[in-house]
Amino acid sequence: MNVSFYDFVSLHHSEFQQKVMESFQKIVSSGQFIEGEYNTAFEKEFASYHQRKHALLVANGTDALELSLRAQGISHGDKVAVPAVTFYATAEAVYSEKAEVVLVDIDETGQMDPFSLERVLKQHPEIKSIMPVHLYGIPAPIEEFEKVIEKSGRNISIVEDGAQAFGGLYSGEKYKGKRLGSSPHLHTFSFYPTKNLGAAGDAGAILVDDEEMMLKLKALRNHGRGVEEKIFGRNSRCDHLQAAFLYHKWQEVEKFQQQRKEVAHQYQELLGGISSIQVVARNFMETSSFHLFPILTKDGKEKIALRDFLQEKKISTSLFYEHSLAHEMPLKGVKGEYAFADKFCQRVLCLPIHPFLTKEQLDYVASSLRSFYGI
């Protein structure tokens, strides 16, 4: 049996395609290619879903991070704290703004560790912003970071990298049960096609409440236009065709998100009897967006053996992420903490998860895992 990592065919079913094509025809006939009615409609609904004042569509998730840093004046001489395990783009955005990355170690759920953050902030007085990532869709403990920042007595902003967060909820007391993205911080999303809410190419978004900050971000995404005092921006607009695709996907995303969560719960049940495997999201079954389904093996050797075993059985897995950022070439020599992150990366393997996995496929994955461990 084949168990693939994604299923774009089921996701983009014919009824969906028809709606998209009708909108595309309308847009092409109108000639309104840049920032049209679908942009406005999507932004309005996306903001309201997250109980935020504004959502701004941009060209991709990396731009959403970069522009958020730039709008806050982060630049040369500043440092930004980034979790030691994340997709490379989180750190890349900091360097694009000419600032320096300082790594913060992660906890056993793969999220930025507040204790490490506290130490790192003390060692680096130049840190002006922190960029926690809701990695795998598991909620990062934002309120703990707020407490650490408050204790430091410094003016440090939080930009939440929610590229993998769509559909998840915060844990902890302060924001408990609220959607990831609804805290008062700038919060970014990526709509890369494999994300829980995926575009037909690249797109991203920023959630923001403050009116002045919103206007600045709006100007930055469109060559600095629209503010009285001219600023340098760039082109990070989201095409109208892309917004139309996203708008139609948006109408169905809750249903797919529910299916994704059901798949995750079935996994949790099926893997319960395999004591050699640790489900990273085990304490977040009600709050993770389940963008990915990471498990931890005993060590790196076992991880690779398991990956190869599953591959032979036609079960796709993914090594998100193979190394901490400290070992990504351009980041060699980066400052900060990453000892636990290195150990975590050796052991982590992501099982396939998407809304269309069947019970038979999940049983097959579980029985293959059991047979690997000789159970």
Ligand X SMILES: Cc1ncc(COP(=O)(O)O)c(C=O)c1O
Shortest distance, position 19 Cβ to ligand X, whole Å: 23
For the record, the structure tokens of 146 come out as: 């707020």
Binding-site member from 163, 197, 219, 345 for ligand X (CB under 6 A) = 163
Taking CB under 6 A as the criterion, the residue among 137, 141, 181, 204 binding ligand X is 204
Tokens of 271: 């893997």
Residue placing its CB nearer to ligand X in the complex, 92 or 302: 92
Answer for the pair 89, 59: CB distance below 8 angstroms, yes or no: no
Q: Is 90 in the site for ligand X (CB under 6 A)?
A: yes
User: How wide is the angle at C-alpha 266 spanned by C-alphas 264 and 269, nearest 5°?
Assistant: 110
Q: What is the CA radius of gyration of the chain?
A: 21
Which of 68, 72, 86, 287 touches ligand X by CB under 6 A?
86
**Which residue, 271 or 334, has its beta carbon nearer to ligand X?**
334
Among 129, 164, 171, 288, the residue binding ligand X under the rule CB under 6 A is 164
User: Between residues 164 and 346, which has the closer beta carbon with respect to ligand X?
Assistant: 164
Q: Which residue has the tokens 């997250």?
A: 50
Q: How far is the CB of 88 from ligand X (least distance, A)?
A: 8
Strands 293-296 and 348-351: antiparallel
Quote the CA–CA distance of 193 and 201 in Å, as a whole number: 6
Binding flag, residue 133, ligand X (CB under 6 A):
yes
Minimum CB distance to ligand X, residue 49 (Å): 19
Closest approach, Cβ 89 to ligand X, in A, equals 4
Q: Is 94 in the site for ligand X (CB under 6 A)?
A: no
Q: Are 104 and 120 in contact (CB under 8 A)?
A: yes
Q: At what angle do helices 61-71 and 89-96 cross, to 10 degrees?
A: 40
List the x/- string, 29-68, binding to ligand X by CB under 6 A.
-------------------------------xxx------
Q: CA dihedral in degrees (103, 109, 111, 116; nearest 10)?
A: -50
Residue nearest to ligand X (CB): 61
Interface with ligand X by CB under 6 A: which range of 45-53, 104-112, 160-168, 323-331?
160-168
Whether a cis peptide bond, with omega within 30° of 0, leads into 321 is: yes
Burial class (CB in 10 A: 0-12, 13-18, 19+), 177: exposed
Residues 312-371 that bind ligand X (CB under 6 A): none
- Report the alpha-carbon angle 154-63-116, nearest 5: 35
Which residues contact ligand X by CB under 6 A?
Answer: 60-62, 86-87, 89-90, 133, 161, 163-164, 190, 192, 202, 204
